Structure 1
Amino acid sequence: MMEDTPDAESTIPAERRRRITLTQTRLVPDPIRLARYLRAPELGPTVLFFSGGSALRKTSRALTEFTHNSIHLITPFDSGGSSAKLRDAFPMISVGDLRNRLMALADTALRGNPEVYRLFDTRFPHDASQHDLRHRLADMAAGHDPMVSAVPQPLRKLIRNHLGYFIEHMPLTFDLRGASVGNLILAGGYLNNRRDIDAVIFLFSKLVAVRGVVRPVVDSNLHLSAELEDGTVVVGQHLITGRETPLSAPIRELRLTETVAAPEQLAEVEIDDRTGQLIDQAELICFPVGSFWTSVMACLLPRGVGAAVARAGCPKVYVPNCGEDPEEFGLAPHDQVRVLLEQLRRDAGEDTPTDALLHFVVVDSERGEYAGGLDIPAIERLGVEVIDSALVSEETAPLIEPRRLVELLLSLV
């Protein structure tokens, strides 16, 4: 009788296994490499994004065509809209950005997923009465609402259970006007699973076939605080974005605080082992387009992020915004790179070399419009290579075309 041959990994002692460093030349975008990913996206590369908000929604949809293994570490500190009401009622992280990314990565071709997508994207009207909204929410939990009844089992039962649990624990004064139904479902699941956000995300990811991993960078009920150049302190992500009220001066420093009411109570939080492992296994790390301070920089505030990025032996890429980002207040791309490196070094160590933290900055010098102007030599003087590529199309100008960005990033893996 023939015995099974042990695989190579089991026969090589752990102390003999090692990582090696390779230097390669790549064509970007690389049509052959991309064709391979399109043919077998389930075997696609592990690209990790530090982000939040909706800026990567279309990019995430394009990403699923090439890989089902992307990782999305999301900021959980939003303090506006539907998320703010939930955080006030139940001290918890913001789930809005998590919902947004889960739906962006969901396989809408599967039976039931389009119905879930529509349900999760539904918002209650702002001008309806509380009585009518509570009645509709009760109908949803009972399965009588047509949007819920259209969802096939077993996902319908799960949604009803989570909405029912939310209704049981919803304060009498809770304002349902403008509420995101998807946020209410995730909040109910979060509370029903002893505040274990991973359990809720895992379950929904399996049921709607999410093509990637979505996770808050930390599971901590904290808020963002920004000190401006004029000494003003702005607390709360929704105010820092500058969309409701323009900032009076550029942002000098971003911090974490315990509550919106007490900005002086600064907070420290550390990533857990699972987040560290996700960063370690990345084949490419991207600091992508989106709100520079409240999406990208906010994800880098927890302890352990900078050290994990420095430890990861993969390419690291920053993609500055094209178009207007009120948070940037005219901060030019080369200054954004400087700020990004400074934040990473706060955790990784001030003597951490640049090539351990960031390798490339991706721009479109021909069509891109950059706040403060694009100074490529200034970026290169920081020790980072600039990839100047046609990212902006006629249809998306002045914004980056999502598929072009995806193709460029995946060509680096």
Structure 2
Amino acid sequence: MSGLTVSRLAEIPDALRIARCRSLPNLGPRLLFFSGGSALNDIAHSLKGYTHNSRHLITPFDSGGSSQVLRAAFNMPAVGDLRSRLMALADESDLGQPDIFRLFTHRLPANAEAAVLRAEARAILTGEHPLICAVSQPMRQLIQTQLRSFAEAMPADFDFRKASVGNLILAGGYLANDRALEPVLFLMSKMVAVQGTVRSIVDANLQIGAELADGTIIIGQSKLTGKEMPPLTQSIRRLFLAEGDAEVTPERVKLPERNLRLIETADLICYPPGSLYSSVIANLLPLGVGAAIARRTVPKVYLPSLGPDPECPGLGLVDQVEALLEQLRRDAGGDCPADRLLQFVLCDGDSFAAADARELGRRHGIVCMAQTLASEANPTRYDPRRVCDSLVSLT
């Protein structure tokens, strides 16, 4: 671990480090997260008080909810998780853009009459909606340009129920920029003054596929998470990316150079809470991710979910860590030492078994750090400030 030991970490004056970050978040550490979904959003929101330099690599492979409506209509990657992380990191100070934030986070109703829904959608697309009119120029014109691109390509029967306006703007920007996500993500980041960096792990329109323990193949993220489909009854043996129903080899899905640089300059790498396979391991599938992580000699931390994960039936903490290591070694090499991929499991003291900690140490030399991290109001959720304190203390 490049000379970094637990004893040395214990000598770090945590309170001073935390106070320094909170007083100068613009100079805060470059914490990198491989995530997707909403599980990290509360922590990301709190993280703005510690650092404006966090990096978030997000999966664009969601196949449920309003993102799937856009994917089906425009044959594009999923943008919902990207938009929600951008909003979690948006500047909320007096220097921010509250009118744009309100527009980007607005959702159309789920159960309105068709005529009412169409009327609101039309007002949004023509720029007559009060939320758009409240945005000052030139931002309003930039937003309307993206929405015009969306409207011009929109199918006549597009389903606006529960549509996120921010997602519509991202979709329009994707279409307007030769079907590329990065330009419109950059634009939206500037519009709401995002205090961090949010990128899609790859700019590719693919699906997640899983091979289960009995050999069954499942294609589609929404079929794994237990939210829109019944939860899995057996464990996932292997995750992969697919185009249609066909598996895509890693050589066809390479980590972009811009994201490689984020890993190469990170001060800490975190595998955060969320669906283990479709939110975390999915980010590790592109070629080059595991090798880049192995080369970077900084603390690498797994923060497991506190509540049950429907993607992990029958899997305990040791199994989850080994699933992470297995995927990382597919890229970094089967003989890559564990401490180059993961050194710490940051655990809530009341939510893990001491036997798991001993086993992780025995098998892989991984250190479990037991702290008080759960929310007092909901023990299945992390307290964002406690987590941020712990992560910053490790840098």
Q: TM-score, normalised by structure 1?
A: 0.89
1:304 counterpart = 2:288: yes
Shift of 1:22: 5.8
Contact 1:249 1:329 in 2 (8 A): yes
Partner of 2:345: helix, strand, or coil? strand
Could you tell me which residue of structure 2 aligns to residue 243 of structure 1? 227
- Any unmatched runs of 5+ in structure 1? 1-19
Shift of 1:379: 1.6
Letter in 1 for 2:346: V
1:286 counterpart = 2:286: no
Letter in 2 for 1:97: D
Could you tell me which residue of structure 1 aligns to residue 358 of structure 2? 377
Relative to structure 1, the CA distance from residue 408 to residue 279 in structure 2 (aligned partners, 3 Å threshold; closer, same or farther) is: same
Shift of 1:28: 7.5
Could you tell me which residue of structure 2 aligns to residue 364 of structure 1? 348
- Among 260, 283, 287, the residue aligned to 1:276: 260
1:352 counterpart = 2:336: yes
Relative to structure 1, the CA distance from residue 27 to residue 51 in structure 2 (aligned partners, 3 Å threshold; closer, same or farther) is: farther
Q: Deviations over 1:103-159 (max 9, x none)?
A: 000002246633322222222222234554333222123332112222233222222
Q: Deviations over 1:154-176 (max 9, x none)?
A: 22222222112101110112211
Tell me the number of residue pairs that the alignment of Structure 1 and Structure 2 aligns: 388
Shift of 1:398: 2.6
Separation in 1, partners of 2:376, 2:59: 31
Shift of 1:87: 0.9
1:142 counterpart = 2:126: yes
Relative to structure 1, the CA distance from residue 408 to residue 212 in structure 2 (aligned partners, 3 Å threshold; closer, same or farther) is: same
Shift of 1:195: 1.9
Could you tell me which residue of structure 2 aligns to residue 216 of structure 1? 200
Separation in 1, partners of 2:63, 2:157: 19
Contact 1:125 1:177 in 2 (8 A): yes
Shift of 1:203: 1.4
Could you tell me which residue of structure 2 aligns to residue 256 of structure 1? 241
Could you tell me which residue of structure 2 aligns to residue 171 of structure 1? 155
Separation in 1, partners of 2:381, 2:187: 34
Separation in 1, partners of 2:289, 2:61: 16
Aligned CA RMSD, in angstroms, stands at 1.9
Partner of 2:144: helix, strand, or coil? helix
Partner of 1:388: helix, strand, or coil? strand
1:324 counterpart = 2:308: yes
Could you tell me which residue of structure 2 aligns to residue 66 of structure 1? 50
Greater C-alpha radius of gyration: 1
Separation in 1, partners of 2:315, 2:306: 12
Contact 2:96 2:193 in 1 (8 A): no
Q: Deviations over 1:174-225 (max 9, x none)?
A: 2112211111011001111222211111112122110000001111110011
Contact 1:51 1:73 in 2 (8 A): yes
Letter in 2 for 1:289: P
Separation in 2, partners of 1:255, 1:228: 11
Contact 1:323 1:369 in 2 (8 A): no
Question: Which stretches of structure 1, 4 residues or longer, exceed 4 Å deviation after superposition?
Answer: 20-23
- Any unmatched runs of 5+ in structure 2? none
The structure in which a higher percent of residues are helix is 2
Separation in 1, partners of 2:324, 2:22: 32
Shift of 1:343: 0.6
